[in-house]
Amino acid sequence: MAAAAGNVEFIRARSDKREYRRLLLPNALECLLISDADTDKAAACMEVGVGSFSDPEGLEGLAHFLEHMLFYASEKYPGEQDYTKYISEHGGSSNAFTSSETTNFYFDVNADNFEEALDRFAQFFIKPLMSQDAVLREIKAVDSEHKKNLLSDGWRMHQLQKHLASKDHPYHKFSTGSWETLETKPKERGLDIRLELLKFYENYSANLMHLVVYGKESLDCIQSLVESLFSHVKNMDQRSFKCPSQPLSAEHLQLLVKAIPIIEGDYLKISWPVTPNIQFYKEGPCRYLSHLIGHEGEGSIFHIIKELGWAMDLVAGAGSDSNEYSFFSVGMRLTDAGHDHMEDIIGMVFKYIHLLKEDGIHEWIFDELASINETEFHYQDKVHPISYVTATVSSMRLFPPEEWLVGESLPSKYAPNRINMILDELSPERVRILCESKKFEGSTNCAEPWYNTSYSIENVTPYMIKQWIQKAPTEKLYLPKPNIFVPKDLSLKEVPDKVTFPTILRKTPLSRLWYKPDMLFFTPKVYIIIDFHCPLSSHSPEAAVSTSLFVDLLVDYLNAYAYDAQIAGLFFSIYLTSTGFQVSVGGYNDKMRVLLHAIMKQIVNFVVKPNRFSALKETSVKDYQNFNFSQPYSQASYYLSLILEEKKWPLVEKLQALSKLESDSLAKFVPHLLSKTYLECYVQGNIEPGEAESIVQEIEDTIFNTPNSVFKPMSPSQYLVKRVIMLEKEIKCCYQIEGLNQKNENSSVVQYIQVHHDDALSNIKLELFSLISSQPAFNQLRTVEQLGYITYLSLRSDRGVWALEVVIQSTVKDPSYLDSRIDEFFKTFESKIHELSDKDFKRNVKSLIDSKLEKFNNLWEESGFYWGEIEAGTLKFDRVESEVALLRELKKEEFIEFFDEYIKVDAPQRRTVSVQVFSGNHLAEFKKAIAEADPPKTCRITDIFGFKRSRPLHRSLKGGPGLITMD
């Protein structure tokens, strides 16, 4: 029986040049084929309609465990690494995730290697081996993943919400699995976990699968490839999992749950079970309501509670990955004052819901949203194929084929009755409130069993909520006004000259403008970066935290005004850099200048508002304190940066400085900060050169050329460059420290090998080594030795200094041992490099060339690359072409010589530092490690700053404003 190729008329974006076809295989596997002649990467995603809700009773995490196991060997490809090795050696990546009702597997690879990669992928669903040996090892990996999550508030609170649901609903279950659920308990019951796994795998039936395949070839070619590879997937004619409806019955509603988090900070989440939006996706009722309840402009819930100093953010919306149930939630981060006014805030939310009911549903608001959604859909940016296939596959399960590409992104039917139906569901009778705060310590009386989260429950009656509404603030709530930022002019500008790379259009003592028109994407969008180079921004911990708070306040002040811009597809960000701060604006060019002008006016007219200063300072202090609760590998990475970077202030000093900072001292600091400024500007996209110049002229006029301006041009001698220390050859430095949260069972090591300063020939050799070694390192250290779930080898570049780093986080072994295993990996890998066949060498070189020649997918990627070159000071806009030319000439002997010189364990030029963070589990090993005498050729770092002062610095690549001449 032949496969059916459905001739579907897909609803698609006007800008989309790809070709699509629906294909139904004889085994009932439904496929979407995508042909993109311009792609350099191919990708595929399989969604199986079996998730953690299908876990058998008493085998929690079996679906997630099966997801892990399928990456191992298959009958056709019996080598354990046959799939992952092939993918990583051909420029690709692969992953999977298990959700409640589905499990998704996906990968991408260089387009020329797609057929072989897809064949290996197909075996997951045809004949995996699931050997006994691999089963035991992967249970350890699942357990390591679970232990990583134990101290994560996101996982803890999610499980608490599930715990407080109907016990007979699968939502109540623990879904990720652990050593206890997959090894200890099954053994006690006399179960063979491998046999249970094989039995569970029978649920993986072709009729429950959806596949998206994205390639370069024609649709006919892709179809014959898919037919030949996936027709062998068995159709067991399984029934799809039918989720019982809502997981919350009456006893789980009208509750206030108070829970104790790990980290500092108070969070409030108000939620209601609602009819899933997916059932009315053409009407989009939840979208309409989340737009209004989550609005941040004047008159909104958030704007009022923010001005009162009670909250730092607010998100609202419906979500679940099920067709059968959903929750509408309003979540926010509270300040200490907000915690004290929690009842007032809840009253405010209900007051606004009441306003929406009283005021009625407005067709103009629906139309405005529909118009914004339509523009966004038709001018969507092209994304990486791997992102596209994973985003598209879930539509296949939920929507008719013609709507697979659009899903629920285009609500088009105005149905006030549907919106009112959801509004009625947001009632005091159906609410459930979760508040997280350390202030509840000592007053909770329950513990969630899987993560041991302490909590207590109180009843919240509609009468109580009525009282809260009455005592809520009297500030006036009102609906947003029409959005002035909705783009009207989406025409494309004429570009007179074909420009390959960014050029300098304009240069003054105050600024420099780099410009590049859009020659690739022909979209009505633009990307603008204004980099404020302020030499006084970071000369002390006090300056660094003051600059940071200034930036936070700027964003805070602009929020209400710019929120409409964001809804209309025009985004801005202001963030700290190592030499000042940066403003970037991206999106439709039509209203771009309006927003940019508002941002510049805000900078010029900056004043410190004491109430916002207090709220942001408080939040900032908690964020610094929360570093203590971050993952140990993040802590190790922080210490490494502290060792490497000149003038990087330690967090503890910044926290001290921040604690002492007052609003009047910040008010004095800001004019001082801005008194010396240089602007590096970058403009790319649908914009003419004259307009780019006039934008920068306008910014200069706004900032520098006003009568009372504090801004003054910066002297070239003040140009700041941050540099990286040079480690010593043949010496291994070691920094050992206790983890900041001794309750965390994980220890971590980061081994950093500093190799060279940005140089095309050295770059390609190091990239080639990373390509060849990253998958074997993962396989040896994680899969074979089971040292820890987080394990990787990757490239790293700090201010143009290139290096390799190997990271392991582990509960099973201490960091000194982990470090020795990394050394051992490099020793055994030495023979693999030396024995590399000509064929393998050429294959890896080709793979790296393919990856380098990958085209940019959208304007942001292209701008990001060019701005990266400007920001780093390298200005190698032709980097790809020059490095590819060198790769084509590279000899295997040169590559091996490079490895022997810089990377292998006893290499004469090897410069290494190992940062080791010891958890409470490994305190005995820590004491032993710091008491031991240093082996030869090692240097123990006990004082990071003393060590830094003793080392020379790598030169800087940044020339600064004085060194680039106008051509």
* Structural domain includes residue 12: yes
Together in a domain, 319 and 226: no
Beta bridge partners of 254: none
Together in a domain, 747 and 887: yes
Q: For residue 966, what pLDDT is reported?
A: 38
Together in a domain, 411 and 371: yes
Confidence of residue 5 (pLDDT cuts 50, 70, 90): low
Together in a domain, 465 and 530: no
854-870 confidence digits (pLDDT tens):
999 999 999 999 999 99
Confidence of residue 321 (pLDDT cuts 50, 70, 90): low
- Sheet of 678-685, strand order: 503-507, 511-517, 678-685, 525-533, 580-588, 570-577
Residue 793 has pLDDT above 80, yes or no: yes
Together in a domain, 732 and 706: no
Least confident of 557-566, 587-596, 697-706: 697-706
What is d(CA 586, CA 589) in angstroms, rounded to the nearest whole number?
Answer: 8
Residue 716 has pLDDT above 90, yes or no: no
216-238 confidence digits (pLDDT tens):
999 999 999 999 999 999 999 99
745 is catalytic: no
Together in a domain, 712 and 734: no
Each residue of 382-418: b (16+ CB within 10 Å) or e? bebbbebbbebbbbbbebebebbbbbbbbbeebbbeb
Confidence of residue 3 (pLDDT cuts 50, 70, 90): low
Task: Determine how many CB atoms are found less than 10 A away from the CB of residue 429.
Answer: 12
Q: For residue 963, what pLDDT is reported?
A: 52
The residue assigned the tokens 């509750």 is 255
Confidence of residue 1 (pLDDT cuts 50, 70, 90): very low
Q: For residue 708, what pLDDT is reported?
A: 82
Strands (E), 472-592: 503-507, 511-517, 525-533, 570-577, 580-588
475-513 confidence digits (pLDDT tens):
899 999 999 999 999 999 988 778 899 999 999 999 999
Instruction: Supply 897's token pair.
Output: 């010589």
SS3 581: strand
Length of the chain counted residue by residue: 967
Residue 2 has pLDDT above 80, yes or no: no
Q: Which amino acid is at 907?
A: A
Together in a domain, 188 and 78: yes
Question: How many distinct structural domains can be found in the chain?
Answer: 4
CA-nearest of 917, 914, 909, 904 to 938 is: 914
Together in a domain, 109 and 177: yes
Instruction: Supply 939's token pair.
Output: 């240097």
102-136 confidence digits (pLDDT tens):
999 999 999 999 999 999 999 999 999 999 989 99
Domain that includes residue 772, residue range: 724-954
Query: Positive or negative CA dihedral for 607, 608, 612, 615?
Result: positive
Confidence of residue 245 (pLDDT cuts 50, 70, 90): confident
Residue 961 has pLDDT above 70, yes or no: no
* Structural domain includes residue 467: yes
Task: Tell me the percentage of the chain whose pLDDT exceeds 90.
Answer: 92
Q: Where a domain ends, among 688, 718, 748?
A: 718
What is d(CA 146, CA 149) in angstroms, rounded to the nearest whole number?
Answer: 5
SS3 474: coil
The per-residue pLDDT of the chain, averaged, comes to 95
364 class by beta-carbon count within 10 Å (0-12 exposed, 13-18 middle, 19+ buried): exposed
Together in a domain, 518 and 622: yes
742-773 confidence digits (pLDDT tens):
889 999 999 999 999 999 999 999 999 999 99
Q: For residue 965, what pLDDT is reported?
A: 44
CA-nearest of 576, 579, 520, 527 to 553 is: 576
**What does the pLDDT average to over 559-563?**
96
Q: Where a domain ends, among 671, 700, 718?
A: 718
Residue 36 has pLDDT above 60, yes or no: yes
Residue 528 has pLDDT above 60, yes or no: yes
Helix H or strand E segment including 598 = helix 592-604
Q: For residue 4, what pLDDT is reported?
A: 63
Instruction: Supply 206's token pair.
Output: 């072709």
358 class by beta-carbon count within 10 Å (0-12 exposed, 13-18 middle, 19+ buried): exposed
Confidence of residue 720 (pLDDT cuts 50, 70, 90): confident
* Structural domain includes residue 963: no
- Sheet of 255-259, strand order: 311-319, 326-334, 266-274, 432-436, 255-259, 454-459, 446-447
CA distances 190 to 137, 184, 193, 436, Å, are 20, 10, 9, 40
* Structural domain includes residue 587: yes
Q: For residue 709, what pLDDT is reported?
A: 86
Q: Which amino acid is at 273?
A: P
Q: Which of 138, 408, 436, 883 is catalytic?
A: 138
* Structural domain includes residue 961: no
CATH number of the domain that residue 407 is part of: 3.30.830.10
138 is catalytic: yes
Q: Is 648 left (phi over 0), alpha (psi -120 to 50) or beta?
A: beta
810-845 confidence digits (pLDDT tens):
999 999 999 999 999 999 999 999 999 999 999 999
Together in a domain, 767 and 821: yes
Instruction: Supply 670's token pair.
Output: 């800001």
Q: Which amino acid is at 849?
A: I
Please give the torsion angle defined by the CA atoms of residues 140, 146, 148 and 154, in that order, rounded to the nearest 10 degrees: 170
Beta bridge partners of 267: 333, 436
Q: For residue 967, what pLDDT is reported?
A: 39
Q: Which of 47, 60, 67, 183 is catalytic?
A: 67
Q: For residue 497, what pLDDT is reported?
A: 77
Read off the pTM: 0.94
* Structural domain includes residue 498: no
401-447 confidence digits (pLDDT tens):
999 999 999 999 999 999 999 999 999 999 999 999 999 999 999 99
Instruction: Supply 608's token pair.
Output: 């410190």
Together in a domain, 255 and 372: yes
- For 848, phi then psi, to 5°, come to -65, -40
* Structural domain includes residue 241: no
Together in a domain, 291 and 262: yes
Q: Which amino acid is at 695?
A: I
What is d(CA 295, CA 318) in angstroms, rounded to the nearest whole number?
Answer: 15
Q: For residue 225, what pLDDT is reported?
A: 98
CB contact set of 308 (below 8 Å; sequence gap of 6+):
337, 341, 473, 475
Query: Positive or negative CA dihedral for 641, 646, 650, 654?
Result: negative
Q: Where a domain ends, among 665, 688, 718?
A: 718
Residue pair 895/768 in contact (Cβ under 8 Å)? The answer is yes
Q: Which amino acid is at 552?
A: D
CA-nearest of 583, 556, 538, 799 to 676 is: 538
What is d(CA 901, CA 907) in angstroms, rounded to the nearest whole number?
Answer: 5
* Structural domain includes residue 967: no
What is d(CA 167, CA 190) in angstroms, rounded to the nearest whole number?
Answer: 25
